[in-house]
């Protein structure tokens, strides 16, 4: 059942900050109804033309007030209910609406922060290239900055960390780096020998009968042993891993290998006979006022000549909508768009496909391009209208069917980079008013930032919060 404010499509200002200001002045504990501050809003402007009568005859004023929200703006043909029309309001009601408008904030001020000159110089050094003094732009920097400029400062410059009593002996990042190290060694074998990737068996029972799969299996097994024999230096060359974490990883080595084996079989079903162009390759593109950079997990050339970029994820990949620009040009995940930009600029070759590949519960999630496995059973994307082409105007067969123009995403990427460079260069860290309350309430830096508060007893604010740590 929709509340009145949902039916009206209006949103009130959050008065929590004002309540806290009053609390700081009086130091008195206060509470409020769950729907008392921001729910059950009234459409003040909609009632400006309704006059307050001197006297009222034969009207059920309580029913009138209850149903007034459902009858505003209806035409005669729209009326399918028995709600009475709102012909008038009490003067008290109308005065109340007018006072509400006067008390409402005209425009919330956008909070802007700047670092002091000494801190700003140190900050610039940390985010700039040592040789050219140009700002270094990566997908993770863009993600943190547009998630929240303060989050970006706390995480990237101050390097604040939340102290927790509990300890994770096997953090997901450990597994991810282990898998990446093994896969990198595996793909280097085929790249150095200039061999095409083998085709996996079409049925699970043919595993031992296929010579091709024996060759692939031995290469994967050798890559895994190479990494584990020099562990942890092969995976964490500059970090110290606790002895207990090392022991856990080594004891579960066979389980990790089995996971990789299943993932590689699924991967090969899509990219068999492809050639490896790059694996874990570092790219830098020098622009007018910044450096774009990033490490691309894998670049392949398929038998049909298409070039694909692959980014491996341990668990679930980002959603496709986050990686494509919306109608207003907003972009939330910059990884694959930036990698495409980097490869095309540094290699002067067009990228036809780009996808995330999940290692746990292996599956491929294309952002651009179309692909199917060796049996023709799994087609990604399944619907033709869901296929996103790199240059849709060049795809004559699908120009009219394509719902998304990826060039708009690339334009949005450039716009976000320009915005990032301009603001960081001018020492401007402005909070976006569109940042939702739930994002701030779940942020790991909320105790330091103090932008959003959750008043004790606010049940809605304490439910359904997501963990936004990166």
Mean pLDDT rounded to a whole number for the chain: 78
Comparing 377 with 322, which gets the higher pLDDT?
322
- The pLDDT confidence band at residue 391, using thresholds 50, 70 and 90, is confident
Number of other CB atoms surrounding residue 392 within 10 Å: 21
Pairing of strands 112-113, 429-430: antiparallel
Name the more confident of 212 and 169. Answer: 169
Lowest mean pLDDT, pick from 88-97, 423-432, 450-459: 450-459
pLDDT at 470: 34
The pLDDT of residue 164 is 57
Q: How far is CA 176 from CA 183, 248, 315, 329, 453, in A?
A: 11, 15, 9, 31, 35
pLDDT level of residue 445 (50, 70, 90 thresholds): confident
Region 335-347: mean pLDDT is 97
pLDDT tens readout for residues 221-265: 999 999 999 988 888 888 777 788 788 888 899 999 999 999 999
pLDDT band at 400 (very low <50, low <70, confident <90, very high): very low
Whole-number Å distance between alpha carbons of 23 and 11:
24
92, exposed or middle or buried, with CB in 10 Å at 0-12, 13-18, 19+?
exposed
Residue 19 pLDDT level (bands cut at 50, 70, 90):
low
Calpha distance 88→313 (Å, rounded): 61
What's the pLDDT band for 305 if we cut at 50, 70, 90?
very high
Rounded mean pLDDT, 441-468: 58
Determine the average pLDDT of the residues in 438-463: 64
In angstroms, rounded to a whole number, what is the distance separating the alpha carbons of residues 428 and 141?
15
Give me the residue spans of the domains in the chain: 4-103, 115-164+423-462, 172-271, 276-414
The two tokens of residue 112 are 């802007």
| Conformational region of residue 438, where left means phi above 0, alpha means psi within -120 to 50, and beta covers everything else | alpha
Question: Is pLDDT of 463 > 60?
Answer: no
Is the pLDDT assigned to residue 272 strictly greater than 60? yes
Confidence (pLDDT) at 383: 80
Going along 241-343, which residue ranges are E strands? 275-286, 290-301, 307-313
Is there a contact between 336 and 413 (Cβ–Cβ < 8 Å)? no
Q: Find out whether 115 and 126 touch, Cβ atoms under 8 Å.
A: no
Range from 22-26, 343-347, 371-375 that averages highest in pLDDT: 343-347
Average pLDDT over residues 50-65: 52
Output the pLDDT for position 373.
87
First-to-last alpha carbon distance for the chain, in angstroms, is: 35
- What tens digit of pLDDT does each residue of 316-334 get? 899 999 999 988 899 999 9
pLDDT at 240: 79
Q: In the beta sheet, which residues pair with residue 292?
A: 137, 285
- The pLDDT assigned to 24 comes to 62
Place of tokens 């830098």: 284
Instruction: Give the largest CA-CA distance in the chain.
Output: 95
User: Distance (Å, rounded) from C-alpha 387 to C-alpha 429?
Assistant: 37
Contacting residues for 387 by C-beta, under 8 A, at least 6 apart: 369, 370, 381, 398, 402
Between 155 and 184, the more confident residue is 184
Residue 431 has pLDDT above 50, yes or no: yes
What local confidence, expressed as pLDDT, does residue 459 receive? 47
> Quick check: 260 and 220 in contact, CB under 8 A?
yes
Confidence check: pLDDT of 128 > 50: yes
Nearest-10 crossing angle of helices 243-251, 172-192: 60
Residues of the chain with pLDDT > 70, as a percent, come to 64
The band of 466, judged by pLDDT with boundaries at 50, 70 and 90, is very low
The dihedrals phi and psi of 300, each to the nearest 5 degrees, come to -125, 160
Q: State how far the Cα of 362 lies from the Cα of 201, in Å rounded to an integer.
A: 16
d(CA 307, CA 354): 8
The answer to which of 33-37, 97-101, 431-435 has the lowest mean pLDDT is 33-37
**Position 43 pLDDT exceeds 80:** no
- Among 317-326, 372-381, 437-446, 460-469, top mean pLDDT goes to 317-326
Spatial CA neighbour of 158 closest among 122, 185, 200: 122
CA distances to 127, 348, 423, 469 from 285, in Å: 16, 12, 20, 29
Instruction: Please enumerate, as own/partner, the contacts of 171-174 that have beta carbons within 8 Å and a separation of 24 or more.
Output: 172/314, 172/315, 174/235, 174/241, 174/245, 174/249
At CB < 8 A and 24+ separation, what contacts does 116-123 make?
119/157, 120/427, 122/157, 123/153, 123/157
Give alpha helix (H) positions in 9-56. 16-26
pLDDT value, residue 393: 56
For 47, which DSSP code? G
With a pLDDT cut of 90, the percent of the chain lying above it is: 43
CA-based nearest residue to 373, from 220, 210, 203: 203
Task: Report which DSSP code applies to 374.
Answer: T
The whole-number pLDDT of residue 260 equals 96
List the structure tokens of 375: 């049996």
pTM, rounded to two decimals: 0.71
3-state secondary structure of 278: strand
Whole-number pLDDT of residue 423: 94
């Amino acid at each position: 059942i929709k509340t009145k404010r949902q039916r009206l499509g209006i949103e009130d200002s959050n008065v929590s900050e004002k309540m806290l200001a009053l609390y700081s002045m009086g130091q008195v504990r206060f509470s409020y109804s769950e729907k008392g501050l921001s729910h059950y809003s009234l459409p003040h402007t909609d009632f400006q033309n309704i006059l307050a009568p001197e006297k009222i005859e034969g009207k059920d004023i309580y029913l009138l007030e209850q149903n007034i929200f459902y009858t505003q703006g209806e035409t005669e043909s729209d009326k399918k209910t028995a709600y009475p029309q709102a012909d008038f309001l009490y003067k008290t009601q109308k005065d109340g609406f007018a006072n509400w408008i006067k008390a409402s904030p005209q425009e919330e001020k956008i909070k802007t922060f700047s670092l002091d000159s000494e801190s700003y110089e140190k900050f610039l050094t940390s985010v700039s290239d040592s040789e050219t003094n140009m700002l270094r732009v990566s997908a993770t920097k863009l993600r943190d900055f547009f998630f929240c400029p303060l989050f970006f400062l706390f995480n990237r410059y101050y390097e604040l960390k939340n102290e927790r009593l509990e300890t994770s002996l096997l953090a997901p990042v450990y597994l991810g780096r282990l898998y990446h190290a093994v896969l990198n060694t595996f793909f280097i074998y085929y790249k150095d020998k200039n061999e095409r990737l083998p085709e996996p068996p079409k049925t699970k029972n043919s595993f031992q009968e296929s010579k091709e799969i024996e060759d692939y299996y031995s290469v994967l097994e050798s890559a895994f042993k190479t990494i584990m024999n020099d562990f942890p230096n092969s995976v964490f060359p500059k970090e110290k891993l606790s002895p207990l974490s090392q022991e856990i990883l080594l004891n579960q080595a066979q389980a990790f290998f089995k996971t990789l084996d299943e993932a590689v079989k699924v991967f090969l079903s899509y990219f068999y006979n492809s050639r490896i162009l790059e694996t874990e390759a570092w790219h830098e593109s020098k622009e007018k006022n910044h450096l774009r950079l990033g490490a691309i997990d894998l670049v392949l050339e398929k038998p049909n000549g298409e070039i694909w970029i692959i980014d491996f994820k341990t668990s679930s990949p980002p959603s496709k909508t986050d990686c494509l620009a919306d109608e207003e040009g907003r972009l939330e995940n910059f990884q694959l768009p930036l990698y495409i930009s980097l490869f095309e600029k540094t290699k002067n070759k067009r990228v036809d496909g780009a996808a995330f590949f999940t290692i746990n519960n292996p599956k491929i999630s294309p952002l651009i391009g179309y692909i199917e496995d060796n049996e023709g059973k799994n087609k990604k994307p399944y619907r033709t209208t869901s296929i996103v082409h790199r240059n849709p105007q060049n795809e004559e067969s699908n120009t009219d069917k394509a719902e998304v123009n990826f060039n708009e995403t690339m334009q949005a990427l450039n716009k976000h980079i320009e915005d990032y460079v301009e603001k960081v260069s001018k020492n401007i860290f402005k909070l976006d008013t569109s940042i939702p309350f739930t994002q701030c309430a779940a942020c790991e830096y909320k105790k330091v930032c103090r932008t959003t508060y959750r008043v004790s007893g606010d049940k809605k604010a304490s439910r359904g919060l997501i963990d936004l740590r990166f």
